């Protein structure tokens, strides 16, 4: 340690690593707007590759809409179920409480791929195969262990007196939840929503298996297909533009809500 970290100036090591970490992101963004033979942008700088994306198959707007719908539904479902579940596990006693909590956490123990094959059949029986709603239901399920744990500890951290005074004031438990507890657990909700959004926006294998219609593909699947389907010459430029469109919302959301993201790590909820 002394010989390596001690003598080399900290800024040289940390800065050098920062360059390596940033380079792929910066290069990809630059390449997406710069001149490349064999792409729509074959001379000078410009947005040709992005225009290719707009016209590809069902069109960029369609895929963005699909991704937005899936991410929105997944976040809403995860928040709704884990808010009520977290409240129940933290504040109520009922038969089967611990068993249900452990069973929810057990979702973490089962590999993603193991569940996707039967879910493919099951969604078919529920007429939710090849549907964005079915996909969102599945994606939200994989968020439940983290979300339920996070909401449970968020509710447990709220002083009990707060809820009791609301109950004395004549609120039912639903009223106490809405008026008093909801604002108190908001940081937990933001963390859960952030994790659910990033997971849903970026997921690849679930739509690959559950969505067969290219019109309904979320953006990661559409960009991967764009690359595979172009016969002969590969369109690197359009792929690079696609990566930019995929990355920008994630990076923005992460940079804005960084504090809430880190809380997910501090909570112990990742100790699965």
Partner 1 sequence: MQVKAPDRTAAAHRAGPEDRPARRPRTTGPLWRSRTLQGIGYAAPTAVYVAVFFVLPLLLVGQMSLSDWPLIAGDQGRNAPENFTDVTDSTLFWPAVRFTLLYTAIVTVVLLGLALLLALLVQESRPGAGFFRTVYFLPGALGLASASLLFWGLYSPTTGPLSRTLEKLGLVDDPVSFLGTPTSALLSTVFLVVWKFAGFYMLILLVGLQRVPHELYEAARMDGASRGQIFRGITLPLLRPSLALSLLLCVTGSLLAFDQFFVLTKGGPDNSTVTVVQLIYREAFQRLNLGTAAALSILVLAALLLLNVLQFRGLHRADES
- Work out which of 130, 131, 173, 230 binds partner 1, going by CB under 8 A: 173
Nearer to partner 1 among residue 113 and residue 182 (C-beta): 113
Contact with partner 1 (CB under 8 A) among 58, 158, 190, 253? 253
> Is residue 162 at the binding interface for partner 1, with CB under 8 A as the rule?
no
Site for partner 1 in 35-64 (CB under 8 A): 36, 38
* Cβ proximity to partner 1, 62 vs 146, nearer residue: 146
- In whole angstroms, the minimum distance from the beta carbon of 174 to partner 1 comes to 8
User: What's the N-to-C CA distance of the chain in angstroms?
Assistant: 32
User: Where in 220-239 is the site for partner 1 (CB under 8 A)?
Assistant: 220, 223-224, 227, 236, 239
Distance CA 87, CA 177 (A): 8
For partner 1, the closer CB: 214 or 236: 236
Task: Tell how far CA 18 is from the center of its chain.
Answer: 25
Return the residues of window 65-94 that contact partner 1 according to CB under 8 A.
80-82, 84-85, 87-89, 91-94
Distance CA 198, CA 75 (A): 10
Q: Which of 7, 127, 170, 255 binds partner 1 (CB under 8 A)?
A: 255
Within the chain, where are the H helices? 10-33, 48-55, 60-91, 97-106, 112-125, 132-156, 160-168, 173-176, 182-184, 186-202, 205-210, 219-229, 236-256, 258-266
Contacts 24+ apart (CB under 8 A), 239-244: 240/28, 240/31, 240/32, 240/49, 241/32, 241/49, 241/50, 241/52, 241/53, 242/53, 243/28, 243/32, 244/28, 244/29, 244/32
Q: Are 241 and 50 in contact (CB under 8 A)?
A: yes
Question: Per CB under 8 A, which region of 41-49, 50-58, 106-114, 181-189 contacts partner 1?
Answer: 106-114
Binders of partner 1 among 7-36, rule CB under 8 A?
10-11, 13-14, 17-18, 20-22, 24-25, 27-28, 31, 36
Q: Closest distance between partner 1 and the C-beta of residue 24, in Å? A: 6
Q: Report which of 118, 130, 143 is spatially closest to residue 198, judged by C-alpha positions.
A: 143
| Nearest residue (CB) to partner 1, 107 versus 184 | 107
CB of 55 to partner 1, least distance (A): 19
């Amino acid at each position: 340690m002394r010989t390596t970290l001690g003598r080399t100036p900290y800024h040289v090591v940390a800065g050098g690593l920062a360059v390596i970490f940033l380079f792929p992101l910066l290069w990809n963004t630059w390449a997406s707007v710069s001149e490349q033979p064999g792409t729509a942008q074959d001379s000078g700088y410009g947005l040709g590759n992005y225009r290719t994306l707009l016209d590809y198959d069902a069109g960029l707007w369609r895929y963005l809409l699909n991704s937005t719908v899936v991410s929105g539904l997944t976040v809403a479902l995860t928040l709704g179920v884990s808010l009520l579940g977290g409240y129940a596990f933290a504040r109520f006693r009922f038969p089967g409480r611990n068993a249900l909590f452990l069973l929810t956490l057990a979702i973490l123990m089962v590999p993603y791929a193991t569940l996707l094959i039967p879910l493919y059949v099951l969604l078919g029986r529920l007429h939710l195969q090849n549907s964005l709603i079915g996909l969102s239901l599945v994606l939200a399920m994989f968020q439940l262990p983290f979300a339920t744990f996070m909401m449970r500890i968020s509710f447990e951290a709220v002083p009990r007196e707060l809820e009791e005074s609301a109950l004395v004031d004549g609120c039912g438990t639903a009223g106490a939840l809405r008026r008093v507890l909801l604002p108190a657990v908001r940081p937990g909700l933001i963390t859960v929503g952030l994790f659910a959004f990033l997971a849903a926006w970026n997921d690849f294998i679930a739509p690959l298996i559950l969505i067969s219609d290219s019109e309904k593909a979320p953006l990661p699947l559409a960009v991967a297909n764009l690359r595979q389907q172009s016969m002969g010459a590969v369109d690197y430029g359009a792929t690079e533009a696609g990566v930019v469109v995929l990355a920008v919302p994630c990076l923005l959301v992460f940079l804005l809500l960084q504090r809430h993201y880190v809380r997910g790590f501090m909570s112990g909820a990742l100790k699965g």
